[in-house]
Each structure stands twice: as C-alpha cells, then as structure tokens.
C-alpha cells in the first residue's frame, strides 16, 4: 500500500469502506484481488473480506498494479485525493501548466525548464508524489473528463475526444478501451444537439453550500452574476470564448455544472477552474481537525462545519475585485464593480436566452477605458491600469503557473497593492490554503473578541479566515 497517508491504517480504511463513509471518498481506493477491480470506498457493491482487498492512496497506483476501474462507482469521479492536494508547489504548478496548455503541445522538458528544474527531477517528483509519470497523469485526467462528457453531454464522440485534449480519435479510442474495457460509444447516453452542456463533479462532505452562495451573493455583479434558487450563475470568458455557467448542488455529494460556450473548447482547464472556484477538492474533516488544535476556535468550527474558500473564475478578475474593495464596505465595492463591468465589459451576444448582459472586463478593456467617472480614487484607477498592463504584457501571471512567492512580490511591486490585497488574492485566487489577510479589520476584531491564536491555524489559515468572515 502507498504509505503517503500515514494518519490511517488498513483497519481504519476498511471500516470507512464497510460504512461507505463519504468523508473518505477520494482519500483512498479499494482494490479486490479476485475481480481485479478497484473502487471508491463508497461503492454500493457487496463488500469483500479484508484479506481479499488492497488499499491505494492514488487511483493511478491501483491501475499500475493491474486493477481496472469499477464501472458502477466510477473511481475516476471521486473528489481529489488529499495525497494529491498535499503535493509540492512544483508539481501543482506543472499540472496547472499542463491543463492550461495541452501536454501534447507543451513538452515535459519545456515545463521543467519553466519551473527551473531538470526534466529528470520533474519526472522523479511526479513518481514520488503521485506515483506516475506526467504523461500518464494527464492521460488519466483526459480520460476521466471524457467519461464525464460521455455520460452527461450531448457532444459527439469526436467532439468529446477533442474537448478532452486528444488530438487523435484513434488514440482516444485505444486509450479509453485500455482503461475502461469498453469502447467510448458504449457509454454514450445523450445524442441531442443542444448547446447546453452538463458536468457533475463530486465533493467530500460536509459542504456549507448556502454559506458559500451567500458569500458570492453579497459580492455578485448584477449584470454578470446571479444567485437565486440555491444556484450560482454567471457570464464568463474562457480562452477568449464567451460563455455562461450555472452551478447547483446535486444529490449524492455532487455539484451540477450547466454551461454554454460560444464554440467548443478544451475542457481540462475549465473543470479545474470550477473545482477551484467552489473548492470541491477540500477535505473538511482533515482541515477542521487541524484547526481544532486551537481550543478556543473549536466551538466556532463546530457551529460552521464544511466551510469552503470561495474561489474565482480567473486571477485577474479577483485582483480587480480586491483592489476596488480596499478599505471600503462590500456593498460599496459591489456598486463600483457594477459600474466598471457596465462601462468596460463587453456585452454578451452569443445567447439571447441568457438574461445576464455583460462579461467581466479584460485587461485590454481596462487599459482602453476612461475610469475617471466611476467614483474610484485616482490612485485606485492607476493601480487598476498598472495591474492590467502587467497581466497584458505577461510580466504578471495569476493563473497558478508562476512561482507563488514571485507572484506575490510582483503584486507588491504595483503601487497601491499592499499585504492585505496580496493575501486576499493568494487566498481566493492563487489557492494558497495558508494565505491570511491578518491586517483585515474584521478579522483582527474577531481574533481579539474570541482571544484566538492564528499561529495554531497553519497550514489552513485561509479556512480560518473564511470562518471568521462567517461569524
């Protein structure tokens, strides 16, 4: 068994497997020696005896050992493994690069070069931390996405192959058969021609969905976003393609994503953005157990279990929101952002049925706009222009592919951006679970009121910050 998760042993895994405990979904995988099938611990199939089972932290290790994924519980749909979530910043940056630019177009050698390490060392890191090569990792991601699209989308098999990142239909068919034991057409369920697509992504409970929606609702820009009927929807731009997205909670610990794009596009980066925006790979049990080391924080966590870090669609948008929100109320920031979007954002024309009207401004939009009549201070307008210029010319990347410390230093070098802004962007945009806007007046007030000790909260201070925002 892979020993990366030293907090548990086989007996504990087996108990979670017998009780189908969804809190452990994605934390490990169960392989049955007699059938050579591996499953999620929540699989509804009849349970085998412990001596007939093997446990793996990574699904890829089960497949490497000769096991095939269960067609009933779909292990490729499990939430992100904590072992994977805990990998090094180097591996996570490499994965973001591969998702944003297909590995078939971006070689392992070029990724290693951008990371400032050798190709051999990068391959070694993947083997050490995930258990497989970079190419195999990305192949598994593509196949899992393709299976999701086959089940829920109305795309043709050819379009599914292309949208999943395959450049060759033959290679897609061969890889799919090898992994799932059947041809892609065996799983195709929907064949209509609507441009509305659907995906289902799993999460690990508990999930404070309504509190996450409340956070988004308070900050929603009316012409671009809408929160109602327990759903979140928005207009977006993805790889220069306008689109619309609606996210809702589904049964069996799944989130449903309905979306429309003006034209087909690769979906690996798309699904990653959704997962990050709604923090679907969080492990609440692990995070909350660590935070409860602060005994004074423990009762507060108990009252607000399952909190997620509200993410963002892209880092540039989040940075603009953070700059405008400096030293003013959420309500005032929302008013200014609404004016900015209505002034600079392009109107959506790809779907007359969608009631939302404006896309969030691009860096080019902000650089070309006159911001003097929005109600912003001159200093904030200049900061927004400087941010837009840095992103536009490529000196600043906010998509997680650049070194974290370098990104923070580049943000700080922009006049008008201080530590609060950087930590807020790091928390919600750069996905650093330990980012902490400690100078925030609301957070400082609650730390003092409850006599809390933030030093005890590492490496989950961002989750503690969200908890304090919710008090």
CB 287 within 8 A of CB 366: no
β-strand pairing of 68-69 with 37-39: parallel
Tokens of 410: 């580049």
- Chain centroid to Cα 316, Å, comes to 16
CB 261 within 8 A of CB 207: no
What residues are annotated to the active site?
39, 440
Q: How far apart are CA 76 and CA 59, in angstroms?
A: 8
The edge-to-edge listing of strands for the beta sheet with 254-261 is: 197-202, 254-261, 241-250, 231-238, 225-228
CB 79 within 8 A of CB 204: yes
Report CA-CA distances (Å) from 119 to 90, 94, 112: 12, 11, 5
CB 123 within 8 A of CB 108: yes
Q: How far apart are CA 97 and CA 119, in angstroms?
A: 15
Contacts of 245 (CB under 8 A, 6+ apart): 233, 234, 235, 236, 257, 258, 259, 274
């Amino acid at each position: 068994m892979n020993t990366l998760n030293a907090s548990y042993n086989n007996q504990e895994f087996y108990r979670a497997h017998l009780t189908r405990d969804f809190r452990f979904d994605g934390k490990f995988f169960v392989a049955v020696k007699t059938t050579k099938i591996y499953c999620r611990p929540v699989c509804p199939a009849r349970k085998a005896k412990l001596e007939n089972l093997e446990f793996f932290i990574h699904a890829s290790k089960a497949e490497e050992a000769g096991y095939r994924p269960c067609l009933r519980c779909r292990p490729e749909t499990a939430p992100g493994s904590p072992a994977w979530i805990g990998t090094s910043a180097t591996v996570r940056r490499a994965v973001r690069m591969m998702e944003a630019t297909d590995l078939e177009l971006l070689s392992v050698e070029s990724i290693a070069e951008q990371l400032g390490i050798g190709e051999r060392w990068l391959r070694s890191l993947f083997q050490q931390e995930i258990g497989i090569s970079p190419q195999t990792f990305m192949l598994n991601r593509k196949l899992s996405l393709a299976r999701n699209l086959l089940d829920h989308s109305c795309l043709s098999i050819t379009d599914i192959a292309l949208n999943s990142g395959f450049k060759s239909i033959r290679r897609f068919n061969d890889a799919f058969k090898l992994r799932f034991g059947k041809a892609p057409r065996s799983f195709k369920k929907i064949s209509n021609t609507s441009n509305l697509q659907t995906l289902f992504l799993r999460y690990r409970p508990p999930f404070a969905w309504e509190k996450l929606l409340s956070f988004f609702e308070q900050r929603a820009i009316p012409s671009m976003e809408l929160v109602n009927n327990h759903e979140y929807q928005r207009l977006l731009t993805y790889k220069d393609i306008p689109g619309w997205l609606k996210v809702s909670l589904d049964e069996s610990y799944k989130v449903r994503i309905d979306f429309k794009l003006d034209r087909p596009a690769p979906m690996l980066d798309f699904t990653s953005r959704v997962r990050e925006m709604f923090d679907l790979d969080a492990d609440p049990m692990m995070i909350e157990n660590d935070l409860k080391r602060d005994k004074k924080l423990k009762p507060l966590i108990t009252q607000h279990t399952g909190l997620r870090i509200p993410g963002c669609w892209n880092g540039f948008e989040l940075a603009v929101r953070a700059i405008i929100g400096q030293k003013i109320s959420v309500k005032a920031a929302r008013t200014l952002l609404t004016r900015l979007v209505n002034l600079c954002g392009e109107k959506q024309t790809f779907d007359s049925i969608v009631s939302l009207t404006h896309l969030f401004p691009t860096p080019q939009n902000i650089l070309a706009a006159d911001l003097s009549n929005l109600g912003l201070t001159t200093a904030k307008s200049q900061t927004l222009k400087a941010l837009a210029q840095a992103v536009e010319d490529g000196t600043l990347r906010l998509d997680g592919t650049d070194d974290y410390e370098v990104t923070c230093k580049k943000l700080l070098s922009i006049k008008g951006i201080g530590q609060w802004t950087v930590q807020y962007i790091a928390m919600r945009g750069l996905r650093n679970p330990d980012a902490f806007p400690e100078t925030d007046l609301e957070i400082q007030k609650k730390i003092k009121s409850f006599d809390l000790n933030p030093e005890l909260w590492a490496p989950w201070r961002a989750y503690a910050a969200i908890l304090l925002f919710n008090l």
